[in-house]
Chain A
Amino acid sequence: MERAEDAGVYKLNDDLAIVQTIDFFTPIVDDPYTFGQVAVANALSDVYAMGGRPLTAMNIVCFPVKTMDISVLREILAGGLDKMREAGVILVGGHSVEDQELKYGLGVTGVIHPAKVVFNTGARVGDKLILTKPLGTGIINTALKGGMADEKAVAKSISCMVTLNRTASELMMEVDVHACTDVTGFGLLGHACEMIEGTNVGMAVYSSAVPVFPEAKEFATMGLIPAGTYGNKEFRLHMVEVATDISSDMLLILFDAQTSGGLLISVPSPGAEELLKKLHDEGIGEAAIIGEIVAQPKGKIIIK
């Protein structure tokens, strides 16, 4: 395999391929039940990003059994299981180990028609780019860690992170799309770079059209920016051309490491407006067209 995809796809026959992915991490919110939900929404997202339907899952647990009450684990697993039920995914097993630091996540198996797999490359000139969730969860989570986030900001961020990308994925599969990925640890621009790196197309991102939690802007100004977000910027800045009127805060938000972020979908132009309307009609109100695929400069992103 030459490219980084969201999940592994294995063709079983002409009509059926399996999609497999695994994801687990340390808690990003205080409440164990909520953490379980976020971890599952995040793990399933890689299957949704490829247009697949997740069917079964296996729990992965690392738990500090000597220092943490086992009821915490029970709550995490309950949150995870409820989210799997919502997704129509069946938990078929799992594995746990003792660890000094708590971690939870899933291995997921889904299905997809082999001819309908949506890869993260394949975007064509003229495509519009739709982002389905606002940015800023990494920054808000950092503010939360520092005890500086108000309840309202945290509630908004959590509600975003526990939202499955299922509906967005299903609606995406109803129209003709060229490429899709989910926005997670590398931030919007990091994942956007993967879409165009080494290809014959470039990308324009209209920063004022990108949905962002207002609180994330405020916290970014206060310096509550996670190290991973700076790392994302450092890693990909050579692929990005930034207009002079884009603030350094905004640029960092565009690189902010997201947990269980939205889908970034590249759609041919007439279908893009149709898909956006469907997303809004189905309650994905923050979805927006944030940019487009351009011919020049190839393999680069222009931020306007």
Chain B
Amino acid sequence: MVEVDVRGFSCPIPVVRTKKAIDENPNEIITVLVESAVSKENVSRLAQSRGYSVKVEETPGGYHLLLGPPGE
């Protein structure tokens, strides 16, 4: 499993790093840790536009996103 920790970064960096992780690790589940609701929304949009499923869990310091690759 690939983890992208972009807590402390504001947009567009979370999207840029998540995209890189998706491009470099096709067909793998990717976990993304974000701080703000804006980053949660934007990373979810990116993932959905690439056909990934998105599960969001709220954590004390932000959100935990679980991105499932297309076809799983």
Contact = CB atoms under 8 A, between A and B. Distances in A.
Interface of A: 142-143, 145-148, 220-227, 230, 249
B38 A222 contact: no
A146 B45 contact: no
Interface string B4-18: 000000111101100
Interface of B: 10-13, 15-16, 19, 36-38, 41-46, 49
Q: Interface SS of chain B: helix, strand, loop or mixed?
A: helix
Contact of B12 (A221, A224, A249): A224
Most B C-beta atoms less than 10 A away, residue of A142, A146, A220: A146
A19 B42 CA distance: 40
Contacts of A221: 45, 49
Contacts of A226: 11
Nearest to A139: B12
Nearest to A248: B45
Complex A-B, nearest 6 residue pairs according to Cβ-Cβ distance, in ascending order = A146-B12, A223-B42, A223-B45, A223-B46, A146-B16, A227-B38
Contacts of B38: 225, 227, 230
A148 B12 CA distance: 9
B13 A225 contact: no
Contact of B10 (A148, A220, A223, A227): A227
B15 A146 contact: yes
A53 B16 CA distance: 43
A222 B19 CA distance: 9
14 contacts: A142-B11, A146-B12, A146-B13, A148-B15, A148-B16, A220-B45, A221-B49, A222-B45, A223-B42, A224-B42, A225-B42, A226-B11, A227-B11, A227-B36
Given A222-B49, A223-B46, A223-B49, A145 B12 contact: yes
Given A146-B16, A221-B49, A230-B41, 11 more contacts: A142-B11, A146-B11, A147-B16, A148-B16, A222-B19, A224-B42, A225-B38, A225-B45, A227-B10, A230-B37, A230-B38
Contacts of B36: 227
Contacts of B15: 146, 148, 222-224
B46 to A, nearest CB: 4
